[in-house]
Amino acid sequence: MSDKTILLDHGSGGLASQELIRSLFLKYLDNEVLRGLEDSAVLTNQAGNLVFTTDSYVVDPLFFPGGDIGKLAVHGTINDLAMRGGRPLCLSLGLILEEGLALDELEKIIISVAEASSSSGVPIVTGDTKVVPKGKADKCFINTSGIGLVDPALSLSSKNGKAGDVVILSGSMGDHGITIMTRRAGIALEGNLRSDTAPLHRLVERVLTGFPSAVRTFRDPTRGGVATTLNEIAEASGLCIELEEERLPIKAEVRAACEILGLEPLYLANEGKCLAVVDGEAADDIVSLMRDTDEGREAVIIGRLTAGKAGRVLINTPIGGARVVTPLHGEPLPRIC
């Protein structure tokens, strides 16, 4: 391609659009369904209940340690399908580009989408691109929607929690949120801060195959963090959740950054972690199984559901005291995913 930046013409639907589709999107995302370039994708011979979700990605910066907006857009939507027990079938890819975006940046994003899609085994089967005048959007926004299949016998929901159930977190908290925030603030910290962006459908599938009746719900604690998601679970199940502060898995570099910036890891976004509410009897075995996967290597039990005050999340502190953990309340966090 001769043009170095995205022009309004690239979103016109005319020749420049077609050139972009062939030289970039099809080059990296090619598959039998997408190749047809029809108005919509036909998914043949599917049997079972469908799960369907959509999410938009506006992260700034576009590229960050551990990932970029492309990876995030693929993994995030796969994870939303997986949290309901869905086996992801395919994704759509909608791009809103700002006029003047460097073409090689877009190429890097599309290569990343392609890698994430192929390593997850979930193809992009339909897409769309719009270009808006400079200043009307911030470089690149992505929307992905996803469709998956779910076993009709399975009914995962936060409402299913019972007193005595155990809360498992699949790994360390806050890696993504703190990586984005320190990047944006221009704070260079020693250590290895990286986004945790990762697809969770394989971990979910293994747990559901091994323990089909022990799992009440999976949730991915993205924006609002573990604290906000647990409040939603406590609310929906009408139970209290008690956490043990000393068990919360937080990487040393994340803790250090939080101390400097005055943030709490419980409220930071995660993009490759899930919370599982499971039958207390099976909890230890499920943790062992999770630890056997790449995505769940640091899985731990962080608390349990109790018959205490409905909708409340409490944390037991190291000194033997306790405090309430409220959901995130409009703190001035910059947008992070």
x-or-dash pattern for another protein, window 298-317, by CB under 8 A? --------------x-xxxx
Note whether 263 and 334 are within 8 A (CB).
no
Q: Quote the CA–CA distance of 165 and 283 in Å, as a whole number.
A: 8
Question: What is the footprint of another protein within residues 314-333 (CB under 8 A)?
Answer: 314-324, 326, 329-332
From candidates 246, 281, 284, 292, binder to another protein by CB under 8 A? 246
The stretch among 74-82, 103-111, 199-207, 252-260 that binds another protein (CB under 8 A) is 252-260
**Interface stretch with another protein, choices 139-147, 201-209, 213-221, 254-262 (CB under 8 A):** 254-262
Q: Does 135 bind another protein (CB under 8 A)?
A: no
Cα distance between residue 269 and residue 174, in whole Å: 6
Minimum separation from the CB atom of position 322 to another protein (A): 5
Pick one of 232, 256, 279, 311: the residue that binds another protein (CB under 8 A): 256
Residue 192 within binding range of another protein, rule CB under 8 A: no
Most distant pair of Cα atoms in the chain: their distance: 68
Least distance between another protein and beta carbon 256 (Å): 6
**Interaction between residue 335 and another protein (CB under 8 A):** no
Handedness of CA 318, 276, 334, 236 (dihedral sign): negative
Half-sphere exposure (Cβ direction) of 179: Cα atoms closer than 13 Å: 25
Dump the DSSP string for 252-307: HHHHHHHHHHT--GGGS--SS--EEEE-GGGHHHHHHHHHTSSTTTT-EEEEEEES
Strand extents, DSSP E, the chain: 49-57, 63-64, 67-68, 87-98, 124-132, 140-150, 166-169, 215-219, 240-244, 275-278, 300-306, 313-316, 322-324
Query: Which residue among 1, 185, 307, 310 contacts another protein (CB under 8 A)?
Result: 185
21 in contact with another protein (CB under 8 A): no
Identified binder of another protein from the candidate list 252, 297, 310, 335, rule CB under 8 A? 252
The contact set with another protein (CB under 8 A) reads: 185, 187, 246, 252, 255-256, 259, 261-262, 312, 314-324, 326, 329-332
